[in-house]
Every structure is written in structure tokens, then in C-alpha cells.
A = this chain, B = another copy of it.
Amino acid sequence: MTSGQKRARQMFSSLAEATADPPGITRAAYGPGEQLAHNLAARHATELGCEISCDAIGNLYMTLPGEDRGAPAFFVGSHMDTVPHGGNFDGAAGVIAGLSLAATLVENNTVLPRDLVIMAIRAEEATWFPLSYLGSYAAFGKLPATAIDETVRSDTGRTLGWHMREAGFDPEPARQGKVLLPVRRVHSFVEVHIEQGPALIGGDQPIGLVTALNGGFRYTTARCIGRYAHSGATSRQYRQDAVLGFSDFVHGLEKEWDSLGEPGRDVTLTIGQVATDPTHHSGSKVAGEVGFCLDVRGPCQDALNGIRKRISALCDTVARTRGVDCVLGPEFTWPVTQLDEELRHQLNDAASTLNLSPPSMPSGAGHDAAVFAEMGIPTGMIFIRNANGSHNPDEDMDINDFDQAVSLLVAHYSLQASRS
């Protein structure tokens, strides 16, 4: 076993132990679990001879010096936060892969032509703050102006700015849109991540190369609004039952989903959160309101725009037939993002030197890589085979598949070195 492989196993096991939150793993964005993961990464990076730095909002940069210290650096990395009671690999695998790469380079006495920066990105999981790719956007000075003071963490109700300060960081530069990581510093970005669907398992492949990331939109504070009434004494025709309205909405969504069979135009429609209002509901009241979160994703922008219109029409139908208003509220959107084709070909060439033939595939989920691509940086992603999806405690990545992803990184950057 190489020292990089040994180090990776140690890190995964330390992380799982320290951030266990049965059933599963919890590392809240700007919470103690995420900080612990950053500290662990920094300690290992220091042992490997990396330079450690941190930007104003807490993104961590671990730099293994290359020959030309002034040239744009190879960036690899991912995030270290998780959803509540998620798994150990979603996010962390990308940072640990970077450190395992660095360990192998150090062990082999390989010095790359340019710096290798392993980046641990803050706050990727939008479950904590209703923003996608918070840490990446902030690094490039692209966080929305209102994000610091107007978005609050789902479990604490406190603002992003409060949490940044509480964790010892400074939200001011991000509030002013200051660039923390200049684009010119980044030669390219590669994110290693577990696959969150079953395609690699189905195809019997340890790793895959991502072509594009799905776009999507989300309503985090949608509501069906009816009227509270006594359960036993209010007969059916007098009810404006928010639960029945919500259920009509869900069935209408499924019908729209049925109509979207065409490959490449498919979407996913997910209502991950539902709740009546605990300060007003009662088992003996007809529900007057149901709140919910609707998440829509797909590879085709045109199909996404179409389903958005049909969801809006569905709200009108529910209001007309049930007397229940469906109010979608603010919409958060993210575009479909193409990754760099040339970089994918380079990764493929490196894979062939290892006798691997990773399939090319789209990503259903969003990733920090989308922001790097949006900034014009050549960006690639390597998916690792993983059972049971992610965002749940049952994520199941085989560590040998992880080793293959690291071998691909080693082969890729060694080829880059030999070409320079």
C-alpha cells in the first residue's frame, strides 16, 4: 500500500469517527464538524510539506510547491460539509483524493511544473444556507450582495455573516464582492466526487468522467394556503384543506414528470421537506397551511424552462379546484454547466495508461466544479462508483475504487509534468 493510500484510509476513518451523528454523519456548513474536517486536512497537508493558507471566509488552500511558483496552479478539491445525517464521502473524498495525490507525488519525489493546490471549499450543501456553491462563489467574489446578511442557516436561524464571524472568519470582503482567489491563479480545476446515482455500478466501472452538470431551480419556501377548520364539525364541501391541495399539487407534478420521458430532456422533481405549521396545526383541525421545498433539476435548460411554466399553471389549477392557493415564493436557480472537453480528453488519455476506460457521463447533482467552469477555468470531474446514492447514511464507496481515482490524478499530473 502506498503512503497516500494509507493516509487516505486514516483520514476517512478519523472523519467518520469524529463527525458521526447516528444514523450517519453531520458536518454543518460553518459548524464544528466542517471545521474539524478542515483542521484534519491541514494537519495531513502540513506533514506532506504543503503551505497552508485560508481566505477571509474560511476556504482552505493547501499548496504543494511546484517548479514555477509564479505560474497558475493545478487546483484539485471539493467541499467537506455534509447534509444532516449524510455519508462520509460526499465532498470529503475530493479533498482526501487531493491529499493522497500529494502524498504519492512526495513519495515518488515528483515535483510538478507548477504548484498543486488542494482546496477545501466551504459550505457546498445548500441544505444549510439556501445558496448553491457558497464557498466557491465567495472565493471568486461572486456571492450575491444580500447573502451574508439575509440568508440564515436552517438549523440555527442565524445569518451567514453571524456564522462566519462565529467560526473566526470575516464576512466583510465577501459582502463587498472582493475576489479572494484570482482566476489567473488557477490553471485548471479537477474535482473528485462519489457518483450519487447508480450508473457506474450498472456499468461495472470504478470511475467515470463528467461531461456536464445538470442545472435546476428550487423553491425553498413554497406554501399551500387553505383555511383552518374543525375536523369533526366541518363537512367536506366547506373545507379548504391545505393537505388535500398539497396532495393534488404532488400528483400534478408526477403527471408532468410522466410527460417528460424523452432522453436528455428528463428532469428530477423532489419535494424533500413538507410541514404544516406547528404553532397553528392540530390533529383536530383541517390544515390551513402546508409549507414545502420543491427542487427541480435536469440536463436541458429548455426542458427546465418548460417545466417551470407548467408548475406555475399547476398552482392555478389547485387554487381553482380546491380553493387552496399555492404560492411558490422566491426561486433559486443554477444553470446547466458544460465541463472542459479538452481536460476530459487528457484525463481519458491518462486513464488509458492505467488500462482504465472511464465512461463519460453527466452529473445529476450540482458541484463546486460548476463555479470554476462558470469562471472560465478549464474544469473536470472524476466520479467514483458508489452504492446507495448520497445525502444519506448508506453511501458506500469501495476504497479500492477511490484508489483508482487517485491513480488517475497521479497519472494525469505526471503526464502534464512530462509535457511541460
Binding site for B on A (CB under 8 A): 83-85, 125-127, 130, 195-198, 214, 216, 218, 220, 227-236, 238, 241, 243-244, 246-247, 250-251, 254, 257, 266, 268, 270-276, 278-288, 290, 293, 295, 297, 363-366, 388-393
Q: How far is the CA of A288 from the CA of B83 in the complex (A)?
A: 14
Taking a contact as CB atoms closer than 8 A, the residue among B130, B218, B247, B280 that contacts A84 in the complex is B280
**How many copies of this chain are found per oligomer?**
2
- Chain A binding surface SS class: loop
A391 & B238 in contact (Cβ 8 Å cutoff): no
A254 & B243 in contact (Cβ 8 Å cutoff): no
Chain B residue with the shortest CB-CB distance to A290: B274
Chain B residues whose C-beta falls within 8 Å of the C-beta of A238 in the assembled complex: 197-198, 389
Q: How far is the CA of A83 from the CA of B283 in the complex (A)?
A: 10
Known A-B contacts A257-B236, A273-B283, A281-B272; A391 and B197 likewise in contact (beta carbons under 8 Å): no
B198 & A366 in contact (Cβ 8 Å cutoff): no
B391 & A283 in contact (Cβ 8 Å cutoff): no
Chain B residue with the shortest CB-CB distance to A220: B283
B218 & A283 in contact (Cβ 8 Å cutoff): yes
Given A84-B281, A244-B254, output 6 extra A-B contacts at Cβ < 8 Å: A83-B282, A85-B280, A126-B283, A197-B234, A230-B391, A246-B274
Chain B residues whose C-beta falls within 8 Å of the C-beta of A230 in the assembled complex: 196-197, 364-365, 389-392
A sample of 28 inter-chain contacts (CB < 8 A) reads: A84-B280, A85-B228, A85-B279, A85-B280, A195-B233, A197-B230, A197-B233, A197-B238, A214-B232, A230-B364, A230-B365, A231-B272, A231-B391, A232-B268, A232-B270, A233-B365, A233-B389, A234-B364, A243-B272, A246-B247, A247-B251, A251-B251, A270-B284, A272-B276, A272-B282, A272-B284, A273-B282, A284-B365
